[in-house]
Amino acid sequence: EAKRQGKNRFDFFTEKMQLQSINRLEMEMDLHQAINNHSGLVLHYQPQISYDGSIVGVEALVRWNHPTKGLLYPDSFIPLAEETGLIIPLGDWVTLTACKQNIQWQKSGYPPMRISVNLSVKQFQNPHLLQNIQSILQKTGLPPHLLELEITETVAISHADLTLSLLNSLRSIGVRLALDDFGVGYSSFMYLRSFPIDILKIDKSFIRDITLNQESQAIIQAILQVAKSLRFKVVAEGVETSEQLASLKKLDCPIMQGYLFSRPVPADKIDIFLQGKNQWNY
């Protein structure tokens, strides 16, 4: 009896596992198709606002309009893309699309602004990364300094030597580098000194807590001070409330991004920011 129960339980688990792997396989095939046919993948853009209320850049964030599951956010398919290697063509599509869009805005007569894209560790380990970025810049004609690549600390500290030379090469062609989600994980001021980055993005967890505790405020203040002396730009991520904005203003934080200003939106919704109709006084 016990044995039969055990076996049933085993069957139950294998069935569940089979379903999971079928679902995964389906998702993988769907994603493959979406990338190959350029169908269903979209970029949304979130403005970055400077202290004077003007838009200085946008971050491109990928979404997938799945044929049956609806609009999917990166956390639900980027890991799969990374495991299957699909992140390479997906990442190239993201960068190309973002650069094209930025050129489009410029052609419409808006002042030049930076566009940033997120790079995964896997893209960083791809020996063709530099070449891919260069050919996208060439193809689109986007001035390199208007492209910003966001990497996380995990990327920055993995394979330190290799990473360092790749970062230096990317920078030597003129693209800007940002360290995303700074302050979580293994953040250290020590390697900030040695990494050739231009921009620090303070993780949203600190911004969330800024009005709740002194410690978060002190950490943000310290990051801003170090960034200033190392000549990095700083972006505060995840600004949601006017109280948070007021605190950041008091600390002289130069650039902000978050739902308070705008959620990530389709390209045409960015126009109102570019037309200067959406200014914040603070």
Least Å distance, CB 63 to ligand C2E, is: 7
Q: Does 148 bind Mg ion (CB under 5 A)?
A: no
Token pair of 227, please? 């960034």
Kindly indicate which of the ranges 31-39, 112-120, 124-132, 171-179 contains the residues binding ligand C2E, using the contact rule CB under 6 A.
112-120
Residue 150 touches Mg ion, criterion: CB under 5 A: yes
Gap between the Cα atoms of 211 and 226, Å rounded: 21
**Residue 221 vs residues 80, 130, 198, 210, 236: alpha-carbon distances, Å:** 37, 34, 18, 10, 11
As a whole number of angstroms, the distance between CA 179 and CA 158 comes to: 14
* Contact call for residue 47 and ligand C2E (CB under 6 A): no
* Positions 185 through 214 that interact with ligand C2E (CB under 6 A): 204
Cβ atoms 105, 113 nearer than 8 A: yes
Extract the tokens encoding 75. Answer: 């956390």
| Nearest residue (CB) to ligand C2E, 46 versus 163 | 46
Which backbone phi and psi does 36 adopt, to 5 degrees? Answer: -65, -40
Shortest distance (Å) from residue 7 CB to ligand C2E: 42
Q: Nearer Cβ to Mg ion, position 32 or 74?
A: 74
Show contacts with ligand C2E in window 229-268 (CB under 6 A). Answer: 238-240, 258-259, 264
Instruction: Report, in this order, helix, strand and coil percent for the chain, each rounded to 5.
Output: 55, 20, 25
Q: How far apart are CA 255 and CA 111, in angstroms?
A: 17
Query: Is the Cβ of residue 17 or residue 42 nearer to ligand C2E in the bound state?
Result: 42
* Least separation in angstroms between CB 17 and ligand C2E: 27
Give contact residues for ligand C2E (rule: CB under 6 A). Answer: 46, 61-62, 73-75, 78, 91, 94, 117-120, 150, 180-181, 204, 238-240, 258-259, 264
